[in-house]
Amino acid sequence: MSGITWYIFRQLIVGTGFVSVALAFLVWLTQSLQFLQFIVNKGLALGAWLKLTVLLLPWFLSVILPAALFFVVLFVYSKLSLDRELVVAQAAGMSRMRIAAPALLCAGASLAMGLFFTLYLVPETMRSFKELQWTIRSDVSQVLLRDGTFNQISESLTVYVRGRDKNGDLIGVMVHDTRDPERSTTLMAERGSLGGRDGGSSVVLYNGSRQELRRGTGNLSVLYFDSYTLDFSGVGGSSDDRYADIRERPTRELFGLTEADGISPANVVRMRAEGHQRVVGPVGAVAFTLIGLVFLLTGPFDRKGQTLRMVGAVAVVVALQAAALGVMSLASKELAYIPAMYAVALLPIPVALYILLAPQWRRPASFRTRTA
- Would 267 be classed as within a structural domain? no
Domain span at residue 214?
Answer: 146-235
- Would 33 be classed as within a structural domain? no
> Is the confidence at residue 219, as pLDDT, over 90?
no
End-to-end CA separation in angstroms for the chain: 42
- Would 35 be classed as within a structural domain? no
pTM over 0.75: no
Bigger pLDDT: 92 vs 286:
286
- Would 201 be classed as within a structural domain? yes
Query: What mean pLDDT comes out for the span 92-116?
Result: 90
**Burial 296-318, CB ≥16 within 10 A → b, else e:** bbeeebeeeebeebbeebbebbe
Query: What mean pLDDT comes out for the span 231-236?
Result: 60
Q: How confident is the model at residue 1 (pLDDT cuts 50, 70, 90)?
A: low
Q: How confident is the model at residue 367 (pLDDT cuts 50, 70, 90)?
A: very low
Number of domains comprising the chain: 1
- Would 54 be classed as within a structural domain? no
- Would 188 be classed as within a structural domain? yes
- Would 208 be classed as within a structural domain? yes
Bigger pLDDT: 100 vs 32:
100
Alpha-carbon distances, residue 282 vs 63, 169, 251 (angstroms): 8, 50, 15
- Would 243 be classed as within a structural domain? no
> Is the confidence at residue 118, as pLDDT, over 60?
yes
pLDDT tens track for 27-72: 888 877 777 766 665 556 677 778 888 888 899 999 999 999 999 9
> Is the confidence at residue 342, as pLDDT, over 90?
yes
